[in-house]
Amino acid sequence: MIKREPNMIADNKLDVEGDRFSTVEIPETAHQISSDSWFQAGVVLTSGVNSVFVLGYSGTIMVHLGWIGGVVGLVLATAISLYANMLVAKLHEFRGKRHIRYRDLAAEIYGRKAYYLTWALQYINLFMINIGFLILGASSLKACYVLFVEEVTMKLPYFTAIAGFVCILFAISTPNLSSLRVWLACSTILSLIYIVVASVLAAKDGMNAPPRDYSIHGTTAGKIFSIIGASSNLMFAFNTGMVPEIQATLRQPAVENMLKALYFQFTIGVVPMYAIIFIGYWAYGASASTYLLSNVSGPVWVKAAANISAFLQSVIALHIFASPAYEYMDTKFKITGGAFELKSLTFRIVARGGYLVISSTVSALLPFLGDFESLTGALSTFPLTFILASHMYLVAKKSSLSSLQQSWLWLNVVFFSCMSIAATVAAIRLIVVDSKKYHVFADV
């Protein structure tokens, strides 16, 4: 079912063009859309960038790329990711329709077959990101537990179950992405707590430590695969794979507001992430871990506060990345009631609870965080954010693009296709290596 979007009010001023938005069509959805400001969308995007994953980038990116490769790679990844996301944002109202789902946009440009392929890629991406949040949330809880207990008896899978249960409670009580308003403020505060604590304690350790080893270790083949995997993690760090879904929540003008949100994300929003990545690597060099709070030394209560903050932020961030799956289920079964209306509440308990039980089980079975980041970037972040974005824009705007612009977009398609293949091989190799090192339900 398609409905027409009414005239909107933007920034408390009536649209001077009168019926500018009255002919824009939007698909039916059970979730709230066209209601949020660009700033709220910017905070949503920034919450994703500065999620608990940032605690691992010193170890999963800088350790494998070194200072020069890491710094140059981060700057390039920031610029390229902003560009690619802008391409997708500019296609939001293609052919007079608001495409509130990535798969809908692909179907409009390529046809129905692309709908299912894009859907599969996106949900693989989001599912694996959610697994990463569950693993990190569980790791945060375990790190806090270890601070206060001398004889450690609880293993990581138990904390994964606890993290999954808390995520289920949050998902049940938070109907959609727009209803996160107050939680986004909490997410920002929580992110600042663990980023500031980790940065300050790491800087203190770095000033008191002997000279660090910043060399890239391993065999030549191992270094090559590690560099490819770290490059995949770079792209994973900046991209949500759900730009149309976030853009759907924005009030008109949706394209202009989304561009503002993206500018916010890739300027102010990346500063905390840059800070913790560089400080963590400077302080510990090649020994930086994939969870920086396990490296730092300092007062127990400070480290405990940082770990609890990291856990709580992972719960909120997971809900952001799970929202496309929730929107699909709610829309398919026409669940439109309030947060605590019996029918909608019961449905969320069953549907979202089941989804998170499956996610938690997979997280406990295979808790190899670096592997998930690499494979996610290879299989879905590259195709969705770079290959598909460039090619969709090329197809949709071909008649208005110069030959130079077309060549540039084709170069992006070819280059990131090669990167995707190489990163997939590197990620599979990493999984094979780790499968020999760890067993299922490992306590890592």
- Give residue 16's pLDDT band: very low, low, confident or very high (50, 70, 90): very low
Contact of 383 with 198, CB cutoff 8 Å: no
b/e per residue 367-380 (b: at least 16 CB within 10 A): bbbbbbbbbbbbbb
Tell me the C-alpha distance between 179 and 138, whole Å. 25
| Tokens standing for residue 355 | 């989804």
- Residues 207-226 as b/e (b if ≥16 CB within 10 A, e otherwise) read eeeeeeebebeeeeeeeebb
CA atoms of 99 and 242, how far apart (whole Å): 12
Beta strand ranges found along 70-221 (DSSP E): none
Q: Each residue of 51-65: pLDDT tens digit? A: 999 999 999 899 999
pTM assigned to the model: 0.88
397-434 pLDDT per residue, tens: 988 999 999 999 999 999 999 988 988 888 888 777 77
Q: For 42-437, CATH number?
A: 1.20.1740.10
183: nearest Cα among 293, 74, 76, 47: 47
Q: What is the pLDDT of residues 192-243, one digit of tens each?
A: 999 999 999 999 999 998 999 999 988 888 888 888 888 888 888 888 789 9
Average pLDDT, the chain: 87
CA torsion 91→96→102→107, rounded to 10°? -110
The residue extents of the domains of the chain are: 42-437
